[in-house]
Structure formats: C-alpha cells, structure tokens
C-alpha cells in the first residue's frame, strides 16, 4: 500500500479520521482530504471513531449482559468465569481505593476498564487490514479509495479520550458539590492549601489542579495509543519481509501498554472520585 503513495501521504492517510460534517464551502458530507476534515472545524464528527467505539462498547455490554442474564452462584461456565475474573479484579481495585457508599463507581470503573481495553486492543490488528478493507468497500460504493479514511483505534482520537475524561470530570464536580455542598467545594478551592490570606494563589493552584485531572486522563491515554499506533505505521513502511522483526516485539510490548493504559484510566477515575467524596 505504501508503494502507491509517498511515505508522508501514507502516514497522514492513516492518521486522518473518516469525518462527516459541514464542508467549508457549504453542504453536509464526508471530508475528502485531511485538510478538508480540519477545515470542517468543531461541527463535524469522526464516523470511524464513533463506529468502532460504540461497536466495541456494544460488544462489551452484549458479552457481560449475556453472562449476567444466566449468572449462577453454582459452578460457573467458562464465559462467566472470565467475566467474574474481570469483575472481581475491578471490585478489588474499587474497594481498596474508594471507601464510600456509591453504586455508580464500580460499574463505572468496569465500563472504563473493559471499554478502553477493547478500544486499545484494536491497535494490535495490523495497521493496514481494516483501512484496506474500508477502501475496497468504499471503492465498491463508488468512492475514491484515496479519500476513504478509517482509523480503527478510537483511543488514538483525542475526541474519544477527551470525551470520557470530560464525563469523569463532570462526575468529579457533581460528587464534590453533592458531598461537600457548593460552599464546601468552593471553600476547598479557595482556602487550601495556604489559608484565606493567600486566596488568589490558592484559587489559581486548585483550579489548575482540578482542570489537570481530566486533561491528564485524556492526554495520557491518547498519547500512549497515538504513539504506539504511529510506531506501527512507521514499521508498516518497511519492506514487507522485514516488518515482523519490529512489529512482533512491538505488538507484544503493546499488549502490556494497552492493558496498563486501561488500568490506569480506571484507577485514576476511582482515585479522583474518591477525592471528590473526601471531606476535609
């Protein structure tokens, strides 16, 4: 595939989302180039990110719901066993970090862990397979294959990670105000860590700290996955007989990264929400 275009075109093609939005010249439609996608601005949507993330999320709830429907406290089947291992792992983490009564936290942590893990796992599918397939399908539907974009790893799209991080941020604000009251929450922002005489400084420090939470959540996951994907793309530029020398070790290493990133996102969410519940 790389032979058909220059390396930079190949890379940029792989890093462009399948975007649907308002064309700058007017009219709804899919973006045909990376530049066009950028010009669409905020009022556009990444169809591939939505497709893969929602698809994987549905896969997650389908699989777990299937187990939940015929769950037994007797001898579990192999799927139930697998699901139970994950749930117990999440539950252990939640109960060791989060000591308040809240029915939302554990399912939230489970959803984050499994969903992010599934989205990250798409990284292990060879980088050209699905985009190539998408191009063939697009061609069959009469589209120019060079204008068919398909990014299969939703977590390499900043929108996906930022979306989740903003949702978590919303929960942080909600529980902070719910547990401490609006006054308590604002007081925490204004009078810590240095007391009321340093109020502007405190406010600045605490607000930066507060905003850093969702931003770091989003950027850590995005950065790791984007960099990993980038390496795979660069490896794919090598001659085909040499690729496995690098892609196999990198993929094996990446198994660790995708699990670790899913785990970190989950744990940090639990930690942030535990902090939101904490009353000083």
Q: How far is Cα 33 from Cα 43, in angstroms, rounded to an integer?
A: 16
Token representation of residue 39: 């010009």
- Position 101 contacts another protein (CB under 8 A): no
Token representation of residue 192: 């810590």
Determine which residue in the list 6, 8, 73, 78 makes contact with another protein, applying CB under 8 A: 73
- Position 185 contacts another protein (CB under 8 A): no
Nearer to another protein, 69 or 280 (CB): 69
Nearer to another protein, 134 or 168 (CB): 168
- Position 88 contacts another protein (CB under 8 A): yes
Determine which residue in the list 10, 13, 14, 21 makes contact with another protein, applying CB under 8 A: 21
Shortest distance, position 64 Cβ to another protein, whole Å: 4
Nearer to another protein, 166 or 190 (CB): 166
- Position 108 contacts another protein (CB under 8 A): yes
Secondary structure of 206-238 in HEC code, one letter for each residue: HHHHHHHHHHHHHHHHHHHHHHHHHHHHHHCCC
- Position 211 contacts another protein (CB under 8 A): no
Contact residues for 55 (Cβ-Cβ < 8 A; gap 6+): none
Peptide bond into 175 cis (omega under 30): no
CB burial of residue 106 (10 Å; 0-12, 13-18, 19+): middle
Rounded to 5 degrees, what are φ and ψ at 38? -65, -35
Question: What is the DSSP-derived secondary structure letter of residue 9?
Answer: H
Residue 123 · residue 14 · CB < 8 Å: no
Q: How far is Cα 250 from Cα 227, in angstroms, rounded to an integer?
A: 12
Shortest distance, position 74 Cβ to another protein, whole Å: 8
- Position 158 contacts another protein (CB under 8 A): yes
One character per residue 22-61, x = contact with another protein (rule: CB under 8 A): ---------------xx-xxxxxxx--xx--xx--x--xx
Nearer to another protein, 39 or 206 (CB): 39
Told to judge if 120 belongs to the known catalytic residues of this protein, a careful annotator would answer no
CB burial of residue 210 (10 Å; 0-12, 13-18, 19+): middle
Nearer to another protein, 43 or 241 (CB): 43
Determine which residue in the list 4, 25, 26, 103 makes contact with another protein, applying CB under 8 A: 103
Q: How far is Cα 198 from Cα 43, in angstroms, rounded to an integer?
A: 42
User: Catalytic residue numbers?
Assistant: 216, 220, 224
Per CB under 8 A, residues contacting another protein are 17, 19, 21, 37-38, 40-46, 49-50, 53-54, 57, 60-61, 64-65, 67-69, 71-74, 83-84, 87-88, 91, 103-104, 106-108, 110-111, 115, 157-160, 162-164, 166-167
């Amino acid at each position: 595939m790389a032979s058909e275009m220059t390396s930079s075109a190949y890379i940029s093609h792989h890093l462009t989302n399948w975007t649907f939005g308002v064309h700058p010249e007017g009219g709804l439609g899919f973006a045909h180039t990376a530049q066009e996608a950028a010009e669409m601005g905020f009022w556009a949507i990444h169809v591939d990110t939505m497709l893969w993330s929602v698809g994987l999320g549905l896969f997650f709830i389908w699989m777990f719901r299937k187990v939940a429907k015929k769950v037994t406290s007797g001898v579990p089947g192999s799927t139930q066993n697998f699901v139970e291992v994950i749930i117990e792992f999440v539950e252990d983490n939640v109960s060791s970090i989060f000591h308040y009564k809240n029915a939302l936290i554990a399912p939230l942590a489970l959803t984050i862990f499994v969903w992010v893990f599934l989205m990250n796992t798409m990284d292990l599918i060879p980088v050209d397979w699905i985009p190539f397939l998408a191009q063939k399908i697009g061609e069959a539907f009469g589209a120019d294959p060079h204008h068919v974009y398909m990014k299969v790893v939703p977590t390499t799209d900043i929108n996906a990670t930022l979306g989740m991080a903003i949702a978590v941020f919303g929960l942080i604000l909600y529980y902070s105000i719910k547990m401490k009251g609006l006054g308590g929450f604002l007081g925490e922002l204004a009078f810590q860590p240095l007391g009321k005489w340093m109020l502007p400084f405190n406010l600045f420090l605490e607000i930066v700290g507060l905003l850093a939470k969702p931003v770091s959540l989003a950027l850590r996951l995005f950065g790791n996955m984007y960099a990993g994907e980038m390496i795979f793309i660069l490896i794919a530029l090598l001659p085909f007989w040499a690729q496995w020398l690098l892609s196999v070790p990198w993929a094996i290493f990446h198994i660790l990264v995708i699990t670790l990133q899913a785990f970190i996102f989950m744990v940090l969410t639990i930690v942030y929400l535990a902090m939101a519940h904490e009353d000083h």
